Amino acid sequence: MKKGFFITFEGGEGSGKTALIGSIKKYLESRKLDCIVTREPGSTKLGEHLREIVLQEKKGKKISSNLSKTLDPKAELCLFLASRAQHIKEVILPSLEKNNIVLCDRYNDSSIAYQGHARDLGIDKVIEFSSFIIEDAIPDLTIYLDIDPKIGLSRVQSKLDRIESEKMEFHKKIRDGFHILAKKFPKRIKIIDASVSKEDVFKEAIKNISKLID
Ligand code: Z5A
């Protein structure tokens, strides 16, 4: 039975999710609240293997293959969903049952924005298909860090992986996809402007998290 809170963080490349999650973890711990940080793809043995395949990176180093050109979008979606199924079972649900606050760097909305919208599989199709995997493991709150992809990519320029290396048009579609989702699920998804300072992004995120947990 779920007792904790499930909070996910979404955004385009370089939107600042990882930095923000680190600050939120410190803040929650200073309030003596138990929390765990986890991420997708990854966080289980299977998930970390799949992450190497789908991002074509091992320990930060590029793997050389022609997968960028050959990986079918449906196959790509299935790899992310396989990682998610294992992640839910091994990490997310057990942590929520122990009353933890789960801070998750990317989750199902990424599949919908990236594979559903940017890769053209269809937003509603991916929502329907992925619902079989996630069942009731639905976030209590999703913080979406909104940023112009030009600014986001300029923050991570030195280490672009297989997906980050896509054309600007692709990154614009990801942003559109997240905006469509935020309109579809306004109670769950909160949009935060990620172009401002880290401190201001943090303050805005804490306002939303406090409404949930306090
Ligand atoms: N993907 C998918 O297609 N489908 C799925 O279902 C899932 C994922 C789950 C995962 O890559 C990739 O998989 C991702 C989506 C796809 N696409 N790509 N590529 P990842 O986990 O390796 O990367 P990421 O999630 O995209 O993270 P990132 O690009 O490394 O960025 P970030 O975590 O959002 O940002 P950061 O590391 O916190 O910050 C980046 C830099 O900006 C860093 O130097 C910070 O100090 C700086 N920063 C952060 N905030 C600010 C502010 N406010 N001002 C200035 N500078 C800042």
CA distance 180 to 184: 6
Task: Evaluate whether 23 touches 202 at the Cβ level (below 8 Å).
Answer: yes
Distance 140 CA to ligand 1 centre (A): 21
Give the model confidence (pLDDT) of 167-198 as tens digits.
899 999 999 999 999 999 999 999 999 999 99
Give the model confidence (pLDDT) of 9-59 as tens digits.
999 999 999 999 999 999 999 999 999 999 999 999 999 999 999 988 877
Q: How far is CA 72 from CA 115, 155, 174, 187, in A?
A: 10, 29, 18, 33
Give the distance from CA 139 to its chain's centroid: 11
pLDDT classification of 153: cutoffs 50, 70, 90: very high
Q: Report which of residues 159 and 92 the model is more confident about.
A: 92
Give the model confidence (pLDDT) of 87-144 as tens digits.
999 999 999 999 999 999 999 999 999 999 999 999 999 999 999 999 999 999 999 9
| Res 164 pLDDT > 80 | no
If one residue of 68, 110, 119, 123 were mutated to test the ligand 1 pocket, choosing by the most ligand atoms within 8 A of its CB, it would be: 110
**DSSP state at residue 187:** T
pTM: 0.96
Distance 1 CA to ligand 1 centre (A): 31
Atom of ligand 1 nearest to the CA of 20: 38
Q: Whose CA is nearest to atom 7 of ligand 1?
A: 110
